[in-house]
Amino acid sequence: MRYLPLNNNLFKFNRKRFVSQLPAGSMAVFVSAELMPRNGDQFYPFRQQSDFFYLTGTEQDNTCLLLFPDCPNQAYREILFVESYDSHKATWEGEKLSVEKAKSVSGIERILFNDQFNAVLQEVTGYCGKIYLNNNEYIKYHSEVEHKNLRFARAMKEKFPLHEFHRAAPILEKLRVIKSETELELIKTASDITAKAFKRVLKKLVPGMNEFEVQAEIEHEFVLNRASGHAYYPIIAGGKNSCVLHYNDNDKPLQDNELLLLDFGAEYANYSADLSRTIPVNGHFSQRQKQCYDAVLRVFRKAVKLYVPGNTIEQINREVWKLMEEEMITLGLFTKQDVSNQNPDFPLYRRYLMHGVAHHIGLDVHDVGSKFEPLAPGMVLTCEPGLYIREENIGIRIENDILVTETEPIDLMADIPIEASEIEQFMNN
């Protein structure tokens, strides 16, 4: 891992909160992520499953966690199962977690090897009636690839058909959506690294560069600052590409007089940042580009004030869409009369702003949390109004990460250039 070692009190705290939510006599079993095949004999770089990292801090595949706070055998109340030492494998791939290292990283005292897992599981299930298993329940997630959690859940139900199984995800979502002070520090570190990368782009960008060259400048700064990489695949979109919401080809040349939309964020210790900016390729906004950019920025500043306890993402979306509609009228995209005559099921603003403006962020860039759940102190969400005028090749998105507090919201990216004049000045110094 590139990031500096984390205090295992974070993971002890997370486990303590989780088991406090389990009904009496319940057990929870979690499995790590697995290596994903790429091609030939290659695998994609390993990234730990977010919930497993949240509870253990470990960065290794083929690992299991068992939590059974009421187990009559006290030795089996909290166990981490890891691979045993394999000298042949260590020669080719490096050593895996030792028992002592696993204890140090996770704060779990009882470390056993995987070959003991089935025997322990067989014993402890005799003492419990309810078993909690995990799954990715993000509302927009769908994959044709069956992941390890699903296979493990099926195997557990086949092996223990008379037990009562429950979902761990609702408990974990309730916990993960409120960030601890340590988590906020990690998100802020990811944000600071993202800021350095953006400022590097402002200094390096010139007409004629390719989108992937801009991506390379970002990645250069990420590596130098201990980020594990991108929190999500970056959007580096020049000209008409800026109007493609999830554009990620990143392989076109950048032309003079075009805008460049950037949507990227560093991942540090598995915690994400998410930044969007739109900048002029030649260092100067045209009059129309600045007019559109300032319209989005005005809405952004008003939107941030909505990130207060009790509000919801759904309410923020509706308010921001209304604000953007007013700006679109001012920009001449349609008239008030057009709005009064529009089909309410297909409002005119949807031609130029097709997405919501907020999502939770944390261990995942689209982190756990419902858009209907009232905001509460400790939540971190993005604020990202946008404007996409395809006929003018103008795509603009402005996005920062916002911390909800008891009082005023805190912009975790407040130090990153955002005013059009500030961006121009930075690019032309």
Does residue 3 belong to any structural domain of this protein? Answer: no
Token representation of residue 118: 């089935």
Residues 339 and 358 in one domain: yes
pTM listed for this prediction: 0.96
Do residues 271 and 190 lie in contact, with contact meaning Cβ atoms separated by under 8 Å?
yes
Note the pLDDT of residue 42.
94
Query: Given this model, what pLDDT does residue 115 score?
Result: 95
Backbone angles phi, psi at 258, to 5 degrees: -90, 165
Q: What is the pLDDT of residues 147-164, one digit of tens each?
A: 899 999 999 999 999 999
Report the chain's mean pLDDT, rounded to a whole number.
96
In a domain, 202, yes or no: yes
Residues 36 and 122 in one domain: yes
For 387-407, b/e burial (b = at least 16 CB within 10 A) is bbbeeebbbbbbbbbbbbeee
93: pLDDT strictly greater than 90: no
pLDDT at 89: 76
The CATH number covering residue 398 comes to 3.90.230.10
Domain-ending residue, one of 135, 155, 176? 176
**1 belongs to a structural domain:** no
Do 161 and 273 belong together in one domain?
no
Q: Confirm whether 124 is domain-assigned.
A: yes
The range of the structural domain enclosing residue 94 comes to: 9-176
Same domain, 255 and 195: yes
265 shares a domain with 156: no
Q: Are 69 and 77 in contact (CB under 8 A)?
A: yes
Query: What's the pLDDT tens digit per position in 67-86?
Result: 999 999 999 999 999 998 77
In this predicted structure, the answer to whether residue 103 has a pLDDT above a threshold of 90 is yes
Domain-ending residue, one of 125, 147, 176: 176
Please indicate, yes or no, if residue 83 is contained in any of the structural domains.
yes
98 in the same domain as 31: yes
Q: In this structure, are 107 and 209 located in the same domain? A: no
* Domain co-membership, 343 together with 195: yes
Query: Strand 400-403 relative to strand 410-411: parallel, antiparallel, unpaired?
Result: antiparallel
| pLDDT > 90? residue 88 | no
If asked whether residues 236 and 367 sit together in one domain, one would say yes
Number of independent structural domains in the chain: 2
Q: What is the 3-state secondary structure (H, E, C) of 335-396?
A: CHHHHHCCCCCCCHHHHCCCCCCCCECCCCCCCCCCCCCCCCCCCEEEECCEEEEHHHCEEE
Please say if the pLDDT value at position 92 is more than 90: no
- Here the CATH number for the domain that contains residue 69 is 3.40.350.10
Q: Half-sphere exposure of 394 toward its Cβ, with a 13 Å CA cutoff?
A: 22
Domain limit, last residue, from 157, 176, 195 = 176
Q: Convert the pLDDT of each residue in 344-380 to its tens digit.
A: 999 999 999 999 999 999 999 999 999 999 999 999 9
Is residue 4 a part of any domain in this protein? no
Claim to verify: residue 138 and residue 185 sit in the same structural domain? no
* 8 Å CB contact between 105 and 97: yes
Q: Is residue 187 part of a domain?
A: yes
Pair 81, 218 in one domain? no
Say whether both 350 and 388 belong to one domain.
yes
Please name the residues in contact with 250: beta carbons below 8 A apart, sequence gap of 6 or more.
Answer: 211, 212, 214, 215, 234, 235, 236, 237
Does residue 2 fall inside a structural domain?
A: no
In whole angstroms, give the CA distance from residue 212 to residue 226: 21
